[in-house]
Amino acid sequence: MPTRPATADTPTATPYLPPAAAATGADVRLFCFHHAGGAASAYTGWQERLGPRVAVLPVQLPGRERRAAEARFTRIDALVADLDRHLDPLLDEPYAFYGHSMGAIVAYRLALLRAARGRSLPVRLMVGAYPPPHRLAPIADALNLDDRELTRWLVDTGGMSELVLRYPDWVRSALELLRDDLRVCQSHRPPADPPLACPIDVFAGEQDPLLPLDQVHDWARHTTGGCRVHTVPGGHFFLHESSAVLLRTVGLLLSDRERRPSRI
């Protein structure tokens, strides 16, 4: 799929980030990948909460917010290849990934691609609200629902407020965006690649209807760098419901004591 090329003069210019987003003196860069149907604004407030030692870089996929006019990806391989091409110049210093729901599998696949290419890996891969890559994700199954069923599914999982149902045009646009993102999730296939060398931290909502807690420990088979599971109060969108708990743990994981360079 064609994408809009970077237009700034600096080698780090990319449509995935606001201009000059990485021009900081932080110790580590945290690239955040949003959920299906979501946008980079899901990470509003993270920079203030994590402080100046972490540069929070919310990744904006095409087809939403400031990139609303751009065509959306529907295949994860194409999306991850484009992310790698655009973000690679920014991954020359210590960095970490956090991905929520769809963002978790996108972040994992991006790390996997970088490992296959012999490029630097994140010091930590943090994934939230998503099953291990060898399991079928329940959110991909939602693609089979009709509009009425999908709208109800969104409301029930906390992805849409009942109040929004008063605006059918907005709901229609939201469903179109969500369906394309669900196609990204559905296009993922279990990897045949070796496990990653970087540590993986898994975040799971205690009441998440889409991710049974007995599945999350299976993320361990996808890393040789160690895997820890962190349960968080809330459901599928605990990043909003329990942001203080989540960010406290993320901050600790990115501290000097916990951060370890990952090489392959």
* Residue 5 pLDDT exceeds 80: no
Residue from 101, 120, 242, 262 carrying the catalytic annotation: 101
Is residue 137's pLDDT more than 90?
Answer: no
DSSP per-residue codes, 112-174: HHHHHTT--B-S-EEEES---TTS--HHHHGGGS-HHHHHHHHHHHTSS-GGGGG-HHHHHHH
Q: Report the alpha-carbon distance of residue 74 to residue 236 in Å, rounded.
A: 22
Domain of residue 222: give its range. 28-135+192-253
Is 159 part of a structural domain of the chain? no
Answer whether residue 2 is part of any domain: no
**Closest listed residue to residue 201, CA positions, set 138, 124, 130:** 124
Residue 70 lies in a domain: yes
Q: What's the confidence (pLDDT) of residue 166? A: 81
- For residue 234, give Cα distances in angstroms to 35, 102, 212, 223: 16, 18, 13, 26
- Whether residue 46 is contained in a domain is answered as yes
Per the model's pLDDT, the better-predicted residue between 158 and 133 turns out to be 133
- The reply to whether 236 belongs to the active site is yes
Q: What is the CATH number of the domain that holds 204?
A: 3.40.50.1820
The span from the CA of 118 to the CA of 263, in Å, is 9
* pTM of this structure: 0.91
d(CA 35, CA 126): 14
Beta strands 54-59; 227-232: pairing state: unpaired
Residue 159's pLDDT band (cuts 50, 70, 90): confident
pLDDT in tens, 224-247: 999 999 999 999 999 999 999 999
Q: Is residue 157 part of a domain?
A: no
Instruction: Give the least confident one: 99-103, 152-156, 241-245, 254-258.
Output: 254-258
Question: Could you tell me if residue 101 is inside a domain?
Answer: yes
User: What are the tens digits of pLDDT across the range 7-62?
Assistant: 333 346 899 998 766 556 899 999 999 999 999 999 999 999 999 999 999 999 99
Q: Give pLDDT, residue 158.
A: 86
Query: Is pLDDT of 263 > 80?
Result: no
Position 257 confidence tier, pLDDT thresholds 50, 70, 90: low
Residue 40 lies in a domain: yes
Q: What is the pLDDT of residues 179-208, one digit of tens each?
A: 999 999 999 998 888 999 999 999 999 999
- 86 catalytic residue (yes or no): no
Which one from 34, 222, 236, 242 is the annotated catalytic residue? 236
The string of DSSP codes covering 202-246 is: EEEETT-TTS-TTTGGGGGGGBSS-EEEEEESSSTTHHHHTHHHH
State both tokens at 26.
């932080």
Structurally, the chain folds into a number of domains equal to 1
How confident is the model over 65-120, as pLDDT tens digits?
Answer: 999 999 999 999 999 999 999 999 999 999 999 999 999 999 999 999 999 999 99
